[in-house]
Amino acid sequence: MSLGWIAGPGTALHGELTIPGDKSISHRAIMLAAIADGTSRVSGFLEGEDTRATTRIFGQLGVAIESPSLSERIVHGVGLHGLTGSSEPLDCGNAGTGMRLLTGLLAGQGFASVLTGDASLSRRPMGRVIEPLARMGARIDSGTGGLPPLRIHANNNLQPIDYELPVTSAQVKSAVLLAGLYAQGDTIVREAHPTRDYTERMLAAFGWPIEFRPGFARLSGGHRLRATHIQVPADFSSAAFFLVAATLVPGSDLLLRRVGMNPRRTGLLRALRLMGADIVEENPGEQGGESVADLRVCYAPLHGIIVPEVLVPDMIDEFPALFVAAALADGETRITGAAELRVKETDRIAAMTAALQSLGADIAETPDGAIIRGGKLHGGTVDSRGDHRIAMSLAIAAQRASGEVRIGDCDNVATSFPGFVELAAAAGFGLRLA
């Protein structure tokens, strides 16, 4: 039986919270440390199912990885050409980032690999990475329609590529760049809408020559990665649930410590501020080459907005939480240009629309977004469809509902936010296991 929650109504949120490590950075830290020369340390590693799956996969590929304590990993890098093939499939679990980045990394190895995933990942499009990698000379077989499982053939002769991304996706950009490490000559990725640049920054931190700026990245094959220490900041996407919850529940005053503030991730902050939120950045600093800050968030009444499309890539994972903010704001919020939400862990437009409607919200979905008229929510039973971010967003909605909300299928919250229920309950959420 899958895990369910009983959520809300909540009380004011108070306290100082440390949110778990960034998922995107944790995946990349393990991947690059694995193919670096020497021993790297990863601190603040996300102990989520997604990032643990990536760690397990590198174990299968011959990389020794120790866990001296929670959120710490010591990775004994095997060098660019030191991975060894596995006769078993490599199970990425629920992780789109894991599968898409690994496809790029494994496309230029002298051994074949098979990548698999859970039911949700098995429905997610992989053609977007297969297409550019095939142009680089990779041979990758997929299920019908470019779906997993993927069989990546051995290839010691990848060609570089100058690639303009047809989809706004950091995962596709990263897959091409990681394959480019194994290609002779310049690999270039161009983006009309800049996405998170963690792969570029981390390659530089591991000493690989790379030129990058928003919308452009260029590297050439044939260099080496040098082991380093990566300090992973707190995940803005996980912090987002607390930013929205504290904004919505009267009397709240929360401090979130050392949150990653990469501008390609913090679009929600800008959207919430446009809606009237009271969120202040304190103690700005740097951690592992990323800007971080403490975020103080206090209750504030919100009003609806037209979400600027330019913010969409910078808040792509935060829309479920934004749907909740909009459903409880004064007036109408319009979301457009966000069709990518339909191919996330689940169709997030459909999932949030159905769940919030069943709690009494006034929402109409559109092909690439939604029109949400703010009002009141009541209790009820909703389905997270096995999507971690839908489950946590509905837990926030419940804090302002007039009755209890039962949320089904919450196991996958452990993919990105282990300990969410305990942390949220300690801050004042009405939230317990069903």
Q: Which residues bind ligand S3P (CB under 6 A)?
A: 24, 97, 169-171, 174, 196, 316-317
* Three-point CA angle 30, 2, 238, nearest 5°: 40
**How near is the Cβ of 174 to ligand S3P at its closest, in Å?**
6
Answer yes or no: 317 catalytic: yes
The owner of tokens 């690639």 is: 163
- Nearest residue to ligand S3P, by Cβ distance, number only: 24
The smaller minimum CB distance to ligand S3P, of residues 361 and 413, is found at 413
Task: Give CA separation, 174 vs 58, 198, 241, 359, 389, in Å.
Answer: 18, 9, 26, 39, 23
What b/e readout covers 23-38, taking b as 16+ CB neighbours within 10 angstroms?
bbbbbbbbbbbbbbbe
The smaller minimum CB distance to ligand S3P, of residues 317 and 409, is found at 317
Specify the DSSP class assigned to residue 315.
G
**How near is the Cβ of 195 to ligand S3P at its closest, in Å?**
6
The smaller minimum CB distance to ligand S3P, of residues 25 and 248, is found at 25
**How near is the Cβ of 265 to ligand S3P at its closest, in Å?**
9
Q: In what order do the strands lie in the sheet with 431-433?
A: 380-383, 405-408, 5-7, 431-433
CB distance 333 to 376 below 8 Å: no
Dihedral, CA atoms, 84, 25, 313, 398, nearest 10 degrees?
Answer: 120
Q: In what order do the strands lie in the sheet with 362-366?
A: 332-335, 369-373, 362-366
**How near is the Cβ of 280 to ligand S3P at its closest, in Å?**
26
**How near is the Cβ of 430 to ligand S3P at its closest, in Å?**
28
Q: Annotated catalytic residue: which of 314, 317, 347, 387? A: 317
**DSSP E strands, 276-322:** 278-287, 290-298
The smaller minimum CB distance to ligand S3P, of residues 124 and 400, is found at 124
The smaller minimum CB distance to ligand S3P, of residues 317 and 365, is found at 317
Which residues carry out catalysis?
Answer: 317
